[in-house]
Amino acid sequence: MSAPLLAVDGVETFYGKIQALRGVEMEVREGEIVSLIGANGAGKSTLMMTICGAPQARNGRIILEGRDISRMPTHQIMRLGVAQSPEGRRIFPRMTVLENLMMGAAVTDGAHFEDDLARMFTLFPVLERRQGQRGGTLSGGEQQMLAISRALMSRPRLLLLDEPSLGLAPLVVRQIFKVIKELNESQGLTVFLVEQNAFHALRLAHRGYVMVNGVITMTGAGKELLAREEVRAAYLEGGAH
């Protein structure tokens, strides 16, 4: 088997004295959709951010395409083909939709900007209609579409998505998950997805991980995890729809 695109090896992350990650082991292979599920406060977002170097891991290694990136500053990591749509979306509120997308393309040389923009407008037509509008005035669903598109504008090899379904109407959630699946199938985009909504996330994923209190406690194929009794009990009650 070839080396994984991303390997997280014994990673520990602290906020001051509080330890949020306690030796995380996981990997993402080229072309996969990998989902990470876990309760609120388990450390999922911390893992996403640690991969991007903000905060940096105190111990352990993060290997991207054979290269240890765990000591690299965030802006350099993001120039290596990693993009994140972070928790809370973090749209620039006083920039237009178009400017937000331009920010996504900031790491590229700009040569494909028009093509990429057209692709985003095909994926999420609402963004085209809103392109001159300030990011802060969009609805939650539109902001999420913008956050994903902004991440895609950098032409990433690895897309990190932190709770893209949070607070969105079921219809919008379905649309977003459909786009993720399409991008993976048609372009081979590798996706690492964090979700509290385990049902969608595991059904979509090739493989999944379960995190509890800063460590990975379970792993397996998405559908296999979904079938496990302990996963259903802990993460699906009321969540399956």
Return all residues near 102 (Cβ < 8 A) that are at least 6 apart.
Answer: 113, 153
Among 87, 116, 142, 195, binds Mg ion (CB under 5 A): 87
| 105 phi, psi to nearest 5 deg | -90, 5
User: CB of 49: closest distance to ligand ADP in angstroms?
Assistant: 8
Could you tell me the strand order of the sheet in which 18-28 lies? 18-28, 6-15, 59-64, 67-68
Q: Which does 20 bind (CB under 5 to 8 A by kind): Mg ion, ligand ADP, other proteins, none?
A: ligand ADP
Element (DSSP H or E) covering residue 86? none
- Answer yes or no whether residue 79 interacts with other proteins by CB under 8 A: yes
What is d(CA 116, CA 119) in angstroms, rounded to the nearest whole number?
5
- Answer yes or no whether residue 137 interacts with other proteins by CB under 8 A: no
Q: Which does 43 bind (CB under 5 to 8 A by kind): other proteins, Mg ion, ligand ADP, none?
A: ligand ADP
| 216 phi, psi to nearest 5 deg | -80, 125
Helix axes 113-123, 97-104, angle to 10 degrees: 120
Among 39, 63, 102, 179, binds other proteins (CB under 8 A): 102
- Answer yes or no whether residue 45 interacts with Mg ion by CB under 5 A: yes
Among 11, 27, 38, 225, binds ligand ADP (CB under 6 A): 38
Residue closest to 65 by CA, chosen among 156, 143, 135 = 156
Residues that bind other proteins (CB under 8 A): 52, 54, 73-75, 78-79, 84, 86, 90, 92-95, 99, 102-104, 106-107, 136, 150, 154
Contacting residues toward Mg ion, per CB under 5 A: 44-45, 87
